[in-house]
Chains A and B, each alone.
Chain A
Amino acid sequence: EAQVTQNPRYLITVTGKKLTVTCSQNMNHEYMSWYRQDPGLGLRQIYYSMNVEVTDKGDVPEGYKVSRKEKRNFPLILESPSPNQTSLYFCASNFGGNRGTEAFFGQGTRLTVV
């Protein structure tokens, strides 16, 4: 089954404790993204990757890191989480180029930083 898998689904952590949210897709998509969703703000892109070892900042990259060492995986890293990073996070993947940009989303990770 084609899917984007995020782990964990729920996470409560303390300020400053490094964490990683994993994302994996099985559709051989070149393009992967991370979004955060906050009430009244919709979804905002954090980082995206066009292929292995190619990443770039989205609209709200501060406080986040990503890596793309393999095509299927795109982890989101919070080196020193702060309460303003409490949010619902979504990973997405899609084919790039002229095959269109329909994105497939993971189920989301609800992060609480206390």
Chain B
Amino acid sequence: AQSVTQPDIHITVSEGASLELRCNYSYGATPYLFWYVQSPGQGLQLLLKYFSGDTLVQGIKGFEAEFKRSQSSFNLRKPSVHWSDAAEYFCAVGTGGGADGLTFGKGTHLIIQP
């Protein structure tokens, strides 16, 4: 069975600073990888996804993520965070067939300092 680890429960970043959120997955084949964001009181919004091809993927709101097969990682990055980026971020892995749905990490809570 697949699994996802987000090692950081909370991260605090100053506004304007760069951001990297870590995600490691466990799955025997090439996974489908996703990052979702959840703002307070809101549902989940897809930031970006990796299915195949270029390992550096661009998403919405200026986010990008890089798939590194050798490290089983899919870290999320943003060069300069804004106060509106404060939210909960979830990494998820899917097995491609849709039959098993998504397995989520436990999330990383991002706090933005003025």
Asked if A and B are interacting partners, one says yes
Q: Which of B71-114 contact A (CB under 8 A)?
A: 90, 92, 94-107
Interface band, chain A: 20 to 34
Known: A42-B104, A42-B105. A31 touches B98 (CB 8 A): yes
Cβ distance B52 to chain A, nearest Cβ, rounded Å: 10
B67 sits at the interface (CB 8 A): no
Return chain B residues, CB-CB under 8 Å to A50: 98-99
- B96 A102 Cβ-Cβ under 8 A: no
Contact of A42 among B46, B94, B106 (CB under 8 A): B106
Complex CA gap A105/B36 in Å reads 10
Cβ distance B102 to chain A, nearest Cβ, rounded Å: 6
Q: Which residues of A does B touch, CB under 8 Å? A: 30-31, 33, 35, 40-45, 48, 50, 58, 90, 92, 94-98, 100-108
Known: A90-B43, A90-B44, A106-B43. A100 touches B101 (CB 8 A): no
Q: Which residues of B does A touch, CB under 8 Å? A: 9, 32, 34, 36, 42-44, 46, 49, 51, 90, 92, 94-107
Return chain A residues, CB-CB under 8 Å to B90: 42-43
Complex CA gap A31/B98 in Å reads 7
Could you list 27 A-B pairs, sorted by A, with CB under 8 Å? A31-B99, A31-B101, A33-B102, A40-B9, A41-B106, A42-B105, A42-B106, A42-B107, A43-B90, A43-B102, A44-B104, A45-B101, A48-B99, A48-B101, A50-B98, A50-B99, A90-B44, A92-B101, A95-B98, A96-B99, A97-B98, A100-B32, A101-B94, A101-B102, A103-B46, A105-B44, A107-B42
Return chain B residues, CB-CB under 8 Å to A40: 9, 106
Contact of B34 among A44, A48, A58, A102 (CB under 8 A): A102
Return chain B residues, CB-CB under 8 Å to A101: 32, 94-98, 101-102
Complex CA gap A114/B63 in Å reads 40
* Further contacts, 4 of them, CB under 8 A, given A45-B101, A50-B98, A105-B44: A50-B99, A95-B98, A102-B46, A108-B43
Return chain A residues, CB-CB under 8 Å to B34: 102-103
Return chain A residues, CB-CB under 8 Å to B32: 100-101
